[in-house]
Structure 1
Amino acid sequence: MKKTISIGIQGFSDLRERNCYFVDKTHFIKEWWESQDMVTLITRPRRFGKTLNMSMLECFFSNKYANRADLFAGLSIWKEEKYRQLQGTYPVLFLSFASVKAGNLEEAKAQVKGEIARVYRENKYLIDTDIFDNRERERYDNVVVSMDDVTAQDSLRNLAEWMEKYYGKKVIIFLDEYDTPMQEAYIQGYWDEFTSFVRSLFNATFKTNPYLERAIMTGITRVSKESIFSDLNNLRVVTTTSDLYADCFGFTEEEVFAALDEYEMSDKKDEVKQWYDGFTFGEYRDIYNPWSITNYLKEKKLRAYWAATSSNGLVSRLIRTASVDVKEKMEDLLKGQEIVVNFDEQIVYNQLDQDENAIWSLLLASGYLKADQVEYRGMLNKPWYHLTITNLETESMFENMFAGWFKNQDANYNDFVKAMLKGSLKEMNIYMNDVALTTFSSFDTGRRPSRKTQPERFYHGFVLGLLADLRERYQIRSNRESGYGRYDVMLMPLNQQDKAIVIEFKVHEPDEESSLQDTVQSALDQIKEKNYDAELLAQGISADRICHYGFAFEGKKVLIGEVNNI
Structure 2
Amino acid sequence: MKSSEQIAEEWGLSKITINDLCNKGKILGAVKQGRKWLVPDDAVRPADGRVSSGKYAKKKDGKTRPLPIGVSDYVRAQSEYYYVDKTLLIKEFLDQKPLVSLFARPRRFGKTLNMDMLRVFFEISAEDTSKYFVDKAIWKCGEEYRKHQGKYPVIFLTFKDVKYDSWESTVAKIRGLLQNEFGRHQELLSSSELAEYEKAYFSKVLNGEASAVEMSEALEKLSQMLAAHYGKAPIIIIDEYDTPIQEGYSKDFYDEIIGFMRNFFSGAFKDNKNITYGFLTGILRIAQESIFSGLNNLTVNSVMDDEYDEFFGFTSSEVRKMLEYYGVADKEDELKDWYDGYLFGSTEIYNPWSVINYISRGCIPQAYWVNTGKNEVLEDVLTIATDDITERLYALLRGEKVVARIDQNVVYRSLAEDPANIYSLLLVAGYLKTPKKELQADGAYLCEVSIPNREIASVYKSEILSHLMQIGAITRTTANMIAESLYANDIKKLQKAISEYMDKSISFYDAGAEGFYHGLTLGLIALLDNQYRIKSNRESGDGRYDISLIPREKKYPGIIMELKWKSGLEEAELEKLSIDALGQIDEKRYDLELKEEGIENIIKLGIAFSGKKVVINAKQSVL
Q: Which one is further off, 259-268 or 153-162?
A: 259-268
Instruction: Tell me if 1:284 matches 2:347.
Output: yes
TM-score, with length taken from structure 2: 0.77
Task: Note closer, same or farther for the CA distance 1:434–1:417 as it changes in structure 2 (3 Å cut).
Answer: farther
Instruction: Tell me if 1:469 matches 2:538.
Output: no
Deviations 1:69-118 (CA, angstroms, capped at 9, x unpaired): 21111111112123322211100000011111121223223322332232
SS in 1 for 2:416: coil
* Aligned mate of 1:300, from 362, 372, 378: 362
Match of 1:109 in 2: 171
Distance 2:168 2:586 in 1: 60
Quote the offset at 1:54 in angstroms.
Answer: 0.4
Q: Is the 8 A contact 2:340 2:351 kept in 1?
A: yes
Q: Which one is further off, 170-179 or 341-350?
A: 341-350
| Aligned partner letter, 2:501 | M
Distance 2:72 2:156 in 1: 14
Task: Note closer, same or farther for the CA distance 1:481–1:31 as it changes in structure 2 (3 Å cut).
Answer: same
Instruction: Tell me if 1:460 matches 2:525.
Output: no
Match of 2:238 in 1: 175
Task: Note closer, same or farther for the CA distance 1:201–1:78 as it changes in structure 2 (3 Å cut).
Answer: same
Task: Note closer, same or farther for the CA distance 1:14–1:473 as it changes in structure 2 (3 Å cut).
Answer: closer
Instruction: Tell me if 1:333 matches 2:396.
Output: yes
* Aligned mate of 1:187, from 232, 241, 250: 250
Q: Is the 8 A contact 1:94 1:174 kept in 2?
A: yes
* Aligned mate of 1:16, from 78, 87, 91: 78
Task: Note closer, same or farther for the CA distance 1:167–1:520 as it changes in structure 2 (3 Å cut).
Answer: farther
Q: Is the 8 A contact 1:90 1:170 kept in 2?
A: yes
Instruction: Tell me if 1:125 matches 2:187.
Output: yes
Aligned ranges for residues 327-476 of structure 1 at < 5 Å? 327-376=390-439, 383-406=445-468, 411-416=477-482, 422-423=491-492, 427-428=496-497, 431-432=500-501, 435-436=504-505, 440=508, 452=511, 460-471=518-529, 472-473=531-532, 475-476=534-535
Instruction: Tell me if 1:490 matches 2:550.
Output: no
Instruction: Tell me if 1:500 matches 2:554.
Output: no
Q: Is the 8 A contact 2:544 2:590 kept in 1?
A: no
| Aligned partner letter, 1:463 | T
TM-score, with length taken from structure 1: 0.84
Distance 2:83 2:408 in 1: 31
Q: Which one is further off, 313-322 or 358-367?
A: 313-322
| Aligned partner letter, 1:135 | Y
SS in 1 for 2:200: helix
Quote the offset at 1:330 in angstroms.
Answer: 1.7
| Aligned partner letter, 2:391 | E
Task: Note closer, same or farther for the CA distance 1:532–1:499 as it changes in structure 2 (3 Å cut).
Answer: closer
SS in 1 for 2:125: helix
Task: Note closer, same or farther for the CA distance 1:382–1:127 as it changes in structure 2 (3 Å cut).
Answer: closer
Task: Note closer, same or farther for the CA distance 1:160–1:497 as it changes in structure 2 (3 Å cut).
Answer: closer
Distance 1:386 1:284 in 2: 16
Instruction: Tell me if 1:550 matches 2:608.
Output: yes
How many positions carry a matched residue from both structures? Answer: 537
| Aligned partner letter, 2:547 | M
| Aligned partner letter, 1:15 | A
Q: Is the 8 A contact 2:152 2:234 kept in 1?
A: yes
SS in 2 for 1:114: helix
Quote the offset at 1:224 in angstroms.
Answer: 3.0
Match of 2:68 in 1: 6
| Aligned partner letter, 1:477 | S
Distance 2:443 2:291 in 1: 26
Match of 1:560 in 2: 614
Q: Is the 8 A contact 1:406 1:435 kept in 2?
A: no
Q: Which one is further off, 339-348 or 396-405?
A: 396-405
SS in 2 for 1:86: coil
* Aligned mate of 1:316, from 346, 361, 379: 379
Task: Note closer, same or farther for the CA distance 1:232–1:457 as it changes in structure 2 (3 Å cut).
Answer: farther
Considering only aligned residues, what root-mean-square deviation do their CA atoms show, in Å? 3.6
SS in 1 for 2:417: coil
Distance 1:350 1:504 in 2: 39
SS in 2 for 1:295: helix
Quote the offset at 1:210 in angstroms.
Answer: 1.4
Q: Is the 8 A contact 1:280 1:371 kept in 2?
A: yes
SS in 2 for 1:293: helix
Instruction: Tell me if 1:162 matches 2:225.
Output: yes
SS in 2 for 1:548: strand
* Aligned mate of 1:83, from 145, 161, 173: 145
| Aligned partner letter, 1:268 | K
| Aligned partner letter, 1:547 | L
